């Protein structure tokens, strides 16, 4: 089976089950801007967590991981 015909069947199968597929172009200025804002938010949250808790900066990775988990559960886009 050709790759294109497989992609078309996959698309119609999603449409049949009312699954919306969104396509975006990577490395565009719009995508990069959204990514940069999210990265900045994660950095600020991690820094605030470390500052408020008095934890050492060696726990930066854990604070960033916790920030991502919080954002994933809090944001619904």
pLDDT at 41: 93
Say whether pLDDT at 16 is over 90.
no
Greatest Cα pair distance, the chain, in angstroms, is 59
Mean pLDDT of 57-74: 92
Instruction: Reply yes or no on whether the pLDDT at 11 is more than 60.
Output: yes
The pTM of this model reads 0.58
Indicate whether 25 pLDDT > 70.
no
The more confident residue out of 22 and 52 is 52
Average pLDDT, the chain: 79
Q: Where are the domains of the chain?
A: 3-74
């Amino acid at each position: 089976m050709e790759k294109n015909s497989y992609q078309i069947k996959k698309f119609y199968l999603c449409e049949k089950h009312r699954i919306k597929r969104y396509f975006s172009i990577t490395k565009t200025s719009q995508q990069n801007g959204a990514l940069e804002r999210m990265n900045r938010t994660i950095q600020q949250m991690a820094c605030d967590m470390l500052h408020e808790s008095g934890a050492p900066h060696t726990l930066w990775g854990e604070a960033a991981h916790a920030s991502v988990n919080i954002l994933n559960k809090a944001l619904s886009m």
